[in-house]
């Protein structure tokens, strides 16, 4: 029986949104000589490349960006699913408009760009903005622990979009992980 070792990205192979260390990369390449290796991440393919290198599909046997909605095997694209085919454009636009309006009405010490990142299988919504620095991410995390900003946001989304086939969840168990409520469907 063949063995496949799958590794999560942020918080396992790398610090959140950071490049893989030479030591970890070397370890994985040595392990790959003995077994098949795969990497799984919630981010899109381009962000996996930023973290693992442009040759990511050559360096690993399997690559699963966007939580597996996009799949590569032996350097070739296997499949790709998307949220718009599942939900339809009207629901997606209603959701994006609602999120942007909600974020516009939150008062935070700082806001940065990319509040909504559209991926194949989900929308990643970040009240502070995905382009915040690591220090700003930690600052937001500490504020959110006290004020429950994301928890209230997700509760509102669940109420507003009940019955639409959406799942809402909160990322970031600690400051080194993602900052965003994650909206998933499928």
32 is in an annotated binding site: no
Question: Is 74 annotated as belonging to a binding site?
Answer: no
Selection from 51, 50, 79 nearest residue 64 by Cα: 79
Catalytic residues, by residue number, are: 8, 10
Closest among 94, 85, 57, 55 to 72, alpha carbons compared: 57
Token pair 């639409």 is found at: 164
SS3 for 139? helix
Tell me: is residue 10 an annotated ligand-binding position: yes
CA proximity to 4, closest of 39, 45, 38, 41 = 38
β-strand 36-40 against 62-64: which pairing, if any?
Answer: parallel
**Cα-only R_g, the chain:** 18
Q: Is 8 annotated as a binding residue?
A: yes
* Bridging pattern class, strands 181-184 and 70-73: unpaired
Residue the block writes with tokens 């339809």:
88
Phi, psi of 88 (to 5 degrees): 90, 150
Residue 184 annotated in ligand binding: no
Determine whether the annotation assigns residue 44 to a binding site.
no
Binding residues for Mg(2+), by number, are 8, 10
Binding residues for alpha-D-mannose 1-phosphate, by number, are 17, 119, 130, 137
Binding residues, by number, are 8, 10, 17, 119, 130, 137
């Amino acid at each position: 029986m063949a063995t496949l070792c799958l590794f999560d990205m942020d918080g396992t192979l790398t610090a959140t949104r950071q490049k893989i260390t030479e030591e970890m990369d070397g370890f994985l390449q040595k392990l790959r000589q003995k077994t098949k290796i795969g990497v799984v991440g919630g981010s899109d393919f381009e962000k996996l490349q930023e973290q693992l290198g442009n040759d990511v599909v050559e360096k690993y046997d399997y690559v699963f960006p966007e939580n597996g909605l996009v799949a590569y095997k032996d350097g070739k694209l296997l499949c790709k699913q998307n949220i718009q085919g599942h939900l339809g454009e009207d629901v997606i636009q209603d959701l994006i408009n609602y999120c942007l309006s909600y974020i516009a009405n939150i008062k935070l010490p700082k806001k940065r760009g990319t509040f909504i990142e559209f991926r194949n299988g989900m929308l990643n919504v970040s009240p502070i903005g995905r382009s915040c620095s690591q220090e700003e991410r930690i600052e937001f995390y500490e504020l959110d622990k006290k004020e429950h900003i994301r928890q209230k946001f997700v509760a509102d989304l669940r109420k507003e979009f009940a019955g639409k086939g959406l799942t809402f969840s909160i990322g970031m168990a600690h400051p080194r992980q993602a900052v965003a409520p994650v909206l998933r469907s499928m």
